[in-house]
Structures are given as structure tokens and as C-alpha cells.
Amino acid sequence: MTHALGFTEDDLRRMAGARSFERGVGYLSAVSRLEIADEAITATVDGSDAYEVELIEDEDGGLTGWCDCPYGQDGNFCKHCVAVGLVVLGQADSVPQQRSASASRTQLLDTWLESRTREELLALVREQLADDRDLRRRLELRAAAAGEDTGIVRERVLSLLDTRPFARYGYVEHADAHAYGRQATEAVTALRALTASGRSAGAVEVAREALQVLGRTYGEIGDSDGLIGDIATGLAEAHLEACRTARPDPVETAEWLVRYLLDELNDATDIDLFDYREVLGDPGLARARALVVAAWRANPKGWAEKYLMERLLKADGGSVDALVEVHAADLAPNGHTHLVIAGELETAGRPVEALEWAERGLRENVSERGPDSDLIAFVCERYERAGRLADVVAVRRDLMRARPSLASYQGLRTAARATGTWEGSERTDALESLKAVSLPETGRWYDGSPLVDALIDDNDLQTAWQAATDGYADQRQWLVLADRLRDRRPADALAVYLRCIEPLRKQTGDSAYERLAELLLSARACHRALGTEAEFAIYSASLRADQKRKRKLMAVLEQHGL
């Protein structure tokens, strides 16, 4: 059934953003090979390369877009998608007819194929195989998987996982990862076909090699959208399926699994030892437990060893004390591990010991940034429950000294107000801590100083203005102060707005134009408060004359009555 378009130009602009939308407008003439089918719209857009674009409308009228340009492969609705969408909107009246024609072509092709003889279809397939090497490789692999020679399947699977044809300077960039992923997906299909064809024992061995090959190269592949991770998961699932069918030697399987899971290169999959419980049986599980315990004893600070030991204890219903021992063997300097231990103890119904471990985490903290924030929250919450409010203030004060920030300031303020000690030396000392790390010459604050943010948060705007005047504020903070104090100090606020307008004169783009208009509106409000509207009119006219070549800016100013 054909249907009209369910998206508009505004939808394209919203999905792409103003910048990509404007760029897409310039690519309308670059759209070719447009095909509008009932399920999808496909086209090629010539940019720095020839990019393939697909737009899909769902049943609810939503629109999704995919493009194989680097920006599109990151999951963005890119300028090429915009260009295709605009071209389609430009011929919206003919869309139902184009969709009907596409459906007719598909039906015609299906009818023609069904009418061919076996020999004619074979000739057609062979003709395609001669021209399409990738198709040939995929079909070769499927033929091998359906045949008797597991060795051929092994060779082709490992070849499909070879990253060298896609690597540039030893690394598969994101733009090439999709091509590699499409190829590697065939390896998963082949392994499952091996199991389905009654050769699950061979599938187990080939899957092991495949997992190890991908593990060695996974760190050399750009996989920001998780495609290669999905393939690794598929290989792991194919291995488990094969094991469940083949029932390999349980002890040897346990040894391979533990060895694989302890290998630091094999972090592409989330293989869980206990998913193999049925395959391993009691003998295999016993061997796995012995190997995990031995590995952890030999290297208690190893991440894999520690994780496996923890997983082993939880799966077996081990004691909380054994879990504490595992975690205590490698305590994080900021107390995070102490918090993990406290959580385990509290879950086990031992809150007193839990708090003791959390307090120990605070005492043993050696991190320059102070204790873990969640650890502090844990301790303070338990102190509050016990009515130990003065202890909460002490913890928050220590954090303020170790990690002066707006969040630390707010936490201390809340705690001190509960004890009635905030207004006085507590607040003064806290502000001094912020001032000590906020000096511009320290170079530590790139987003303005926490001193000004704290004063604004306190609504102590006059003191905040003075701190800004002394050099502690960035542009964002100056604008916050100007907006908050505009009614009381219109002349000072006006100076801030004019100062922020100047650099925008040299910028282009929708966001810069909207920001300029907002600042001009604020400046006009200041002039009105000062009774100097004539000065603003002169300033505005001068700015328009200076910027008159920016037609989009002129339109934005008109929209805002400027």
C-alpha cells in the first residue's frame, strides 16, 4: 500500500540541527540514484566520496536516517540525509506513484525469477559471483558450512575476521569498521551453520579461535556504535550453542574458559563462566573453581582475577566475609572499594560493620581529589539517620578542603545549616577555600571559578559582582550576574552585554545570530531603565549597517523587533 510522506522540512531541520540542515541545502544537486519504495527511501549523495543514504518512515510517522559518511556512521542525521529528504519533499506529489512503481518493479523481478529454470538461475548467480568478490566469499563460506570440510570453514572464518584489509596504519577507523563488521557477521552465521549441520564439535574449536582472533584485534578497531562488540557477542553465543550440542570434555572446556577469561586481550565479550554450567557439569565447575581461586591467590590485584573470584563466590552463594577478603586485597585510594565492601555488608544485614568499613575508607583516603563522592554520601546518610549531624558537618568540611567546588560547598552548607553553624566562620572558611583555588593565574578553572558560582548560589550577588570585578568570573558568570542585577545596576549590566556582543560580530551561523539578538534585547532593556533609548537606537543602527551583508542575521533581528 502506497502512502504520502509523513515528514516535513521542519522535521529534517529538527533532526539534523541548524548547521547540518543548512549544509544539506547545498547538496541537493548531488543527490542521484533516488529510489522511493514503500518501506524506505534510498539514494547516493556525492560529497568528498559517494555516500549511500537511507531514510525510513515508521508506522507512527517518525523518520530515521542512515548514511555511510563518517558523521552519519556516528549515529547522526547528517547533511546527506537532509539533502535526500529535501529532494523527496520537492517531488512529494509524485511520491505515491513512485512507490507504486517501485512495488511493481519488485513484483516483476520476483515473477521473472520464479519463471527461470534452475540452469538459468545458476547462470545468473555465477555471473554475479564473477563481478562481486564479497558475495562470492559469503556464498563460499555458506557452501563450506553445509559441506563436510570443517577446515575450509575455519580458514574462511578466520579470513573474515582479519582486519588487515581494512586497517590504515594498523588501526581500523570508524569509517571502515562498518565494512569490516558486515564481513565479520558472516563468521557468526557460518559457525551457527556448522552446528546446525551436525558438526558442533568442529564449531566449538573454530569458535574458540575466532574469539581469540577478535580479542587480539578488538582494541585496534573504532567501534563507537558497538557493532564489533555485537559481533563478539555473536561469536560467544555461537560458541555456547556449539558446546551445548557437542558436549565437549567438561574439564578441558573449563580450563579453556578460565584461560580465556583471564587473558587481558579477551575483553570484547561478556562471557559468563556460569552460562556454561550445563556444559561443564560438576567436574567442569569444580575444575573452574580451583583454577579461579589459584589465579586470584597468585594475583589478587588483577582485574580479571578479582572479577572472576567475586563472580564465583556470588554464584556459589559464598559468604560475605569471603567477598570482603577479595575486595580488601586491592583497595582503591579514594575509598571506592571500601564502599563496595560496605554495600556487601549492609546487604548481608551487618550495618555496623558496613559503616566501619565506610569510615575506614574516609580515613585511609590518599587521593588528591579526596574520597569517592558516593562513599561520602553513604557515610553522611548513615550519620544523619543516627542523628550525628555534627559528624556530617565534619565530613563535609573535610571534603570542602580536599575538593573545593560548588557541589562541596552546597553539601557543607546544607549540613551546617542543619546544626545552625553555617552563618559565621563555617561559611567564611568555605569561601576562603574556594577563593584559594579560584585565582585566575592557577589555570585550574576553565568554566569560571567556583567562588563566583557559590556566591551566586547563595544569592549574595553584590559580593559575587565584586569577586567578578576582581577577576574571578568568566563570561558565563558575568552574564548570569548581569541578568540577575540588571534592575539594580543597569549601567553595569549594559557594559557586560556590550562586551559580550563584540566578538559575536565576527561570527556566523544560527546560534551566533540568536545569541547576538538575545544580548541586544538585554542591552535595550538596560537603556530603557536608564532612559537612554536614543543611544540604543544609534548603537543598533550602527551594528546593522556593519553587519548588513549577513542577510540571515538581519532576518533574525527583524524577528526579534530589533
Mean pLDDT by 10 residues, the chain (562 residues): 71 89 89 87 86 84 82 83 93 87 88 92 88 75 69 84 82 79 85 88 93 86 77 92 94 94 80 91 92 91 89 82 89 92 93 95 87 93 94 93 90 94 91 80 59 93 92 89 92 93 87 90 93 92 89 87 84
The total number of structural domains in the chain stands at: 3
In a domain, 55, yes or no: yes
- The residue among 434, 455, 473 that closes a domain is 434
Q: 257 is written with which cell numbers?
A: 574458559
The verdict on residue 481 lying in a domain is yes
User: Which CATH number belongs to the domain containing residue 481 in this structure?
Assistant: 1.25.40
- Whether 536 is in a domain gets the answer yes
User: What pLDDT is stored for residue 49 in this prediction?
Assistant: 77
Is residue 124 in some structural domain? no
CB 272 within 8 A of CB 311: yes
What is the residue range of 73's domain?
9-115
Task: Judge whether 128 lies within some domain.
Answer: no
Query: What is the reported pLDDT for 155?
Result: 86
Does residue 448 share a domain with residue 541? yes
Predicted local distance difference test score (pLDDT) of residue 276: 93
Residue 387 grid cell: 542523628
Which pLDDT value is given to residue 4?
64
Residue 399 shares a structural domain with residue 453: no
Contacts of 504 (CB under 8 A, 6+ apart): 512, 515, 516, 519
- The answer to whether residues 140 and 226 belong to one domain is yes
269 and 148 in a common domain? yes
Return the pLDDT at 1: 41
Whether residues 349 and 469 fall in one domain:
no
The set of residues, in sequence order, having a beta carbon less than 8 Å from that of 79 and lying 6+ positions away, is: 16, 20, 21, 23, 24, 26, 27, 71
Spatial separation of the C-alpha atoms in residues 268 and 270, rounded to whole Å: 7
Q: What is the pLDDT of residue 184?
A: 85
Q: From residue 489, how far is each of 480, 484, 494 by CA, in Å?
A: 13, 9, 9
Contact in structure between 280 and 271 (CB atoms under 8 Å)? no
| Domain identity same for 395 and 453 | no
| 228 and 297, same domain (yes or no) | yes
Instruction: State the pLDDT at residue 439.
Output: 62
| Same domain? 369 vs 481 | no
Same domain, 451 and 422: no
400 shares its domain with 514: no
Residues 187 and 64 in one domain: no
pTM of the model: 0.58
In a domain, 2, yes or no: no
> Are residues 408 and 444 part of one domain?
no
Query: Which of 115, 146, 174 marks a domain boundary?
Result: 115
CA atoms of 87 and 188, how far apart (whole Å): 39
- Beta strand pairing call for 50-57 and 31-36: unpaired
Position 350 in a domain: yes
Q: Which residues contact 274 (CB under 8 A, 6 or more apart)?
A: 311, 315
Asked whether residue 542 is assigned to any structural domain, the reply reads yes
Q: Which of 434, 467, 500 is the last residue of a domain?
A: 434
Strand partners, 53: 43, 67
